[in-house]
Copies of this chain bind each other. A is one copy, B any other.
Amino acid sequence: MTHEIAVIPGDGIGQEVTPAAVEVLEALDVDFEFVEAEAGDAVKEETGEALPQETYDLAASADATLFGAAGETAADVILPLRDAVDSFVNIRPAKAYPGVDAVRPETDLVFLRENTEGVYSGIEDRLTQDVSTLTRVVTESASEDLGEFACEYVEDNSYDGFTIAHKANVMRETDGLFRDTIKRVADENGVETDEVLMDAFATHVCLNPEQFDVIVCPNLAGDVLSDLAAGLVGGLGLLPSANVGPERALFEPVHGTAPDIAGEGVANPAATIISAAMLLEYLGYDEEGQAVHEAVEATLEDGPRTPDLGGDASTEDVTNAIIGRL
């Protein structure tokens, strides 16, 4: 069966790393049809719209989407795209690789971030000159979906259980509902859980990252804590992510457009290529996905390396090396 893959390079180094990941996918024996579309600052400049309707529609109908990065318009692009694929969970692995300088080389975490609500509800008001409000929404149904997914995830990937990170000592009703619902779903599925306050997690993950594996958390907590983990493994250059919905999914590196190096052909394609590996696994190409993971890891360890990792190789050199190792 042919899978339709939407490819949205976006801005800056998105234009370099996304084609690199497509090249890797094309080197495999998989039946993909790639359809490219625009989003981001550049298309907004031209058309007034950061996310043209046809790009949204493409992501909403393709089997999977590979997205690069967007600049100033990032929130206007990525939040609707997550919605286009109906994504209820953002999977963010944060793993330190041998051969790459890391603040905490023991880090090997996976964040399962709620991807639809919390402070991302978009419900804000300026009530008076003085007072503005945002309605943070937490639903039992979204928490259940995330909990079910987390249970499957830890089973499929042979983890012992997961940790729920929250701030229910302050957000008693909303994060209380989040925590209690996920805990209940885990109990029903016979999956072990523990819990940690998100502030305490921030301290402890710096001191002892090896004490955590899979962390399930609300939307903003997932945003901040996974970026923290990115710092521990040595920057955003290596972090992939998957926005998974019930019928389709969108894959993107966690990094941005890196305007300082955009256009120079030296961007590190690793995060996008690992995101492509997650895309392969999502579509059932487990062996191919595994092969890409291994080829990236071997390349991170033995080179060639782009300048962000202390080397002087180009995006193309690294991509070719990865393809050579498949």
Chain A residues near B (Cβ < 8 Å): 74-75, 79, 103-104, 119-120, 124-126, 129-141, 167, 169-174, 176-177, 198-200, 202-207, 220, 223-225, 227-228, 230-232, 234-236
Contact = CB atoms under 8 A, between A and B. Distances in A.
A134 B120 CA distance: 12
Given A202-B224, A202-B227, A227-B202, A139 B135 contact: no
Given A132-B177, A206-B231, 17 more contacts: A74-B169, A75-B170, A79-B170, A103-B206, A119-B171, A125-B173, A129-B140, A131-B139, A132-B137, A132-B174, A198-B224, A202-B228, A203-B227, A203-B228, A206-B228, A224-B224, A224-B225
Contact of A203 (B104, B120, B131, B230): B230
A177 B130 CA distance: 9
B225 A173 contact: no
B224 A207 contact: no
Contacts of A170: 75, 79, 119-120, 220
A120 B75 CA distance: 25
Given A119-B170, A134-B171, A126 B177 contact: yes
Nearest to A138: B132
A100 to B, nearest CB: 13
A79 B167 CA distance: 14
Interface centre among A176, A207, A234 (most CB of B within 10 A): A207
A198 to B, nearest CB: 6
B231 A205 contact: yes
